[in-house]
Structure 1
Amino acid sequence: MALRSIFDASAIRTEFENSGINSHFIPLIWKYAIQNPNCELDEVPSLPSSAYPLLRSKFKPFTSTLHSVFDSSDGVTTKLLIKLQNGAFVEAVIMRYDTRLGKYGGQPRPGGPRSTLCISSQVGCKMGCKFCATGSMGFKNNLSSGEIVEQLVHASYLSQIRNVVFMGMGEPLNNYTALVEAIHVMTGLPFQLSPKRITVSTVGIIHAIKKLQSDIPSVNLAVSLHAPLQNIRCQIMPAARAFPLERLMDTLREYQKNSQQKIFIEYIMLDGVNDEEQHAHQLGKLLETFEVVVNLIPFNPIGTLSHFRTSSEQKVSTFQKILRGTYNIRTTIRKQMGQDISGACGQLVVNLPDKRSTGSAGLLTDIEDLRL
């Protein structure tokens, strides 16, 4: 039987409780493993003697390894190719920003350099969005909560991570239990990320959205809407058939009422599909009663996997002006980051640097969406 990651919180907590070991030792084990990535669990100091044989027989510090690191030419984006215990691969992407370079209210923004980590929740994805390279992989398996958290640990050795977005490979709400557990770990000791700096992106899994606010309050919700009409959504997002737009908007209205938080709306700009002025007006009318931030995402080419084209800068700009000017909806245009390393939005498909993967060389997955 494969050993579990020590970052699989429910597994290690259950084992400790069954053995009468206080669970307050668990964050100490995590902290030691992070600070000593090549350690053996026998080396963790100050644990009860009964903890050592239990840890040795059932857990290991890391079940995944950092296989490859790819840096973009501008040094702003880094893609991590991570090999899991079962031999599969996932990708995570670090995006670096300097808030001092922007302006807010005419003044430089406070802060300075910061990094956002885009995390994967599944190997592949079953949603099948036609503009996303990850969807071309199909669904392979869910990640455990420990495998999700380990992406953060691997990334933390390369950059100080302030924000986490679940916009990598997979549909996070289709791996709900592991997602919630991983976020609880990230917001507790020793990581202590603010839940307000964590964003979960979804195509609109209605029943899970209803649970999310009560299970992890303060976490940001992002919805991959991508079209203002149900028929267009179904054309480019086959999974949308199971989540009718009217029901989805009712769910988001209830979510916002309960959470009192902005909702991020992701909208990929596809030339001639969803980027005309009429679509902007339809989207504005759909969202005008909500407190939202619309993030317009220029489509990232994914080779032979798609027949879509990128909307022109003029179309994207006009779309933004309509949402802002006519409907007073805060609208941003996503900065393209990491295209040269296939680390941009929608490009996550694992491209191995050699032919070690039998029958799947070239297939790995890219990011469905990025935000902060």
Structure 2
Amino acid sequence: MALKSVFDSSVIRAEFDKAGINNRFIPLIWKYVIQNPDCDWEDIPSLPSSAYTLLRAKFKASTSVVHSVFESNDGVTTKLLIKLQNGAFVESVIMRYDSSLGKLNGKPRPGGPRSTLCVSSQVGCKMGCTFCATGTMGFKNNLSSGEIVEQLVHASRLSTIRNIVFMGMGEPLNNYSSLVDAIRVMTASPFQISPRKITVSTVGIIHAINKLHNDVPNLNLAVSLHAPVQDIRCQIMPAARAFPLEKLMNALQEYQKKSQQKIFIEYIMLDGVNDEEQHAHQLGKLLEPFQVVVNLIPFNPIGSLSQFITSTNQKVTRFQKILRDIYDIRTTVRKEMGQDISGACGQLVVNLPDKRSISNAAPLTDIEDIRRQ
């Protein structure tokens, strides 16, 4: 029987309870492992003797290893290829920002350098979005909560992580219990990441959205909408057939009523598919009842598998102007990072990144900046 990750919170808590060991030792174990990646259990000071026996018998300090690290040419993006205990691979991406660059609402932006980690929740994905490289893998398996948290552990040894976005491989809400357990670990000691600096992105799994705020309040919710009407959504996102747009919007309205927070709408720009002026007006009318931020995402090429091309800058600008000026909807355009290492939005798929020469983009406005506006 395979040993479990020590970061599998529900498992280790259950085992400690069964053995009569106080759960207060668990954060101390996590902190020591983070700081001492090659430690033996006996190295951890001041644990009850029964804890050492239990840890040796049932847990590993890490069930995954960093197989490869790829650095982008711009020096601000790092992609980690992580090998899991079952031999499968997932990818995580560190994106670095400097808050001191530029201005926010006409004033110098607060803070300094910070890093956001893009985390995977599954090996592959069953949603089958036709513009996403991960979807071409199909679905392999869910990650345990420990395997999700271990991505943060690996990344934190390379950079101080301040924000987490569940926008990597997989549909987070299709791995709901592991997602919730992982977030509870990330927001507790020793990580102590604020829930307001964690974003969960979903294609719109309605039944999970309905309970997310109660289970893990104060998160940012991002919805991969990508089309303003049901028929276009179904064409580019097959899973949309199971989650009709009208029912999805009702669920989002209820979520916003409970959370009193903005919802982030992700909208990938596909030339001739969803980027015309009529689509901008349809989207504006659909989102008028909500407090939202729309993030327009330039389509990233995924080789010969894609039938799509990227919308022109002119179309993106016009689309943004309609949403802003006519419907008064805050709208940003994502400036992609990590394209040269296949680490940008929609490009995560387990293979070695090709070495095409792709111009590096300027740093993007990340979730932390958008929340302040």
- Band of TM-score, shorter chain: over 0.9
- Name 1:239's counterpart in structure 2: 239
Displacement of 1:350: 1.1
- Is 1:28 matched up with 2:8? no
- Name 1:105's counterpart in structure 2: 105
- Name 1:357's counterpart in structure 2: none
- Name 2:69's counterpart in structure 1: 69
Displacement of 1:353: 7.5
- Name 1:299's counterpart in structure 2: 299
**Residue identity in the other structure for 2:114:** R
> Hey, what's the Cα distance between the residues in 2 that align with 1:100 and 1:272?
38
Q: How does 1:247-258 map to 2 (within 5 A)?
A: 247-258=247-258
SS in 2 for 1:279: helix
- Name 2:55's counterpart in structure 1: 55
**Residue identity in the other structure for 1:28:** L
Query: Would you say the 8 A contact 1:42–1:56 is kept in 2?
Result: no
> Hey, what's the Cα distance between the residues in 1 that align with 2:32 and 2:353?
32
Query: Would you say the 8 A contact 1:220–1:263 is kept in 2?
Result: yes
SS in 1 for 2:314: helix
- Is 1:223 matched up with 2:223? yes
**Residue identity in the other structure for 2:272:** G
Unaligned runs of 5+ in 1: 355-369
> Hey, what's the Cα distance between the residues in 2 that align with 1:76 and 1:302?
22
**Residue identity in the other structure for 2:155:** A
> Hey, what's the Cα distance between the residues in 2 that align with 1:299 and 1:41?
46
Deviations 1:95-135 (A, max 9, x none): 11111112112111111111100000000000000000000
| TM-score under structure 2 length normalisation | 0.95
- Name 2:5's counterpart in structure 1: 5
Displacement of 1:345: 0.3
- Name 1:134's counterpart in structure 2: 134
**Residue identity in the other structure for 1:319:** F
> Hey, what's the Cα distance between the residues in 2 that align with 1:103 and 1:291?
23
Query: Would you say the 8 A contact 1:27–1:190 is kept in 2?
Result: yes
**Residue identity in the other structure for 1:10:** S
> Hey, what's the Cα distance between the residues in 2 that align with 1:179 and 1:371?
21
> Hey, what's the Cα distance between the residues in 2 that align with 1:353 and 1:170?
19
- Name 2:17's counterpart in structure 1: 17
- Name 2:162's counterpart in structure 1: 162
Query: Would you say the 8 A contact 2:83–2:89 is kept in 1?
Result: yes
SS in 2 for 1:289: coil
Displacement of 1:352: 3.6
> Hey, what's the Cα distance between the residues in 2 that align with 1:353 and 1:282?
37
- Name 1:276's counterpart in structure 2: 276
Q: How does 1:115-194 map to 2 (within 5 A)?
A: 115-194=115-194
Moved over 4 A (4+): none
Query: Would you say the 8 A contact 2:229–2:245 is kept in 1?
Result: yes
> Hey, what's the Cα distance between the residues in 1 that align with 2:150 and 2:100?
30
Query: Would you say the 8 A contact 2:341–2:353 is kept in 1?
Result: no
Q: Percent identity?
A: 79
- Name 1:85's counterpart in structure 2: 85
> Hey, what's the Cα distance between the residues in 1 that align with 2:174 and 2:46?
38
> Hey, what's the Cα distance between the residues in 1 that align with 2:51 and 2:258?
42
> Hey, what's the Cα distance between the residues in 1 that align with 2:158 and 2:307?
36
Q: How does 1:354-365 map to 2 (within 5 A)?
A: none
Displacement of 1:210: 0.5
> Hey, what's the Cα distance between the residues in 2 that align with 1:193 and 1:6?
19
Q: How many residues align?
A: 357
**Residue identity in the other structure for 1:147:** E
> Hey, what's the Cα distance between the residues in 1 that align with 2:52 and 2:160?
31
Query: Would you say the 8 A contact 1:165–1:371 is kept in 2?
Result: no
> Hey, what's the Cα distance between the residues in 1 that align with 2:41 and 2:197?
31
> Hey, what's the Cα distance between the residues in 2 that align with 1:190 and 1:236?
41
| TM-score under structure 1 length normalisation | 0.95
Deviations 1:191-245 (A, max 9, x none): 0000000000000000000010000000110000000000000000000000000
Query: Would you say the 8 A contact 1:94–1:155 is kept in 2?
Result: yes
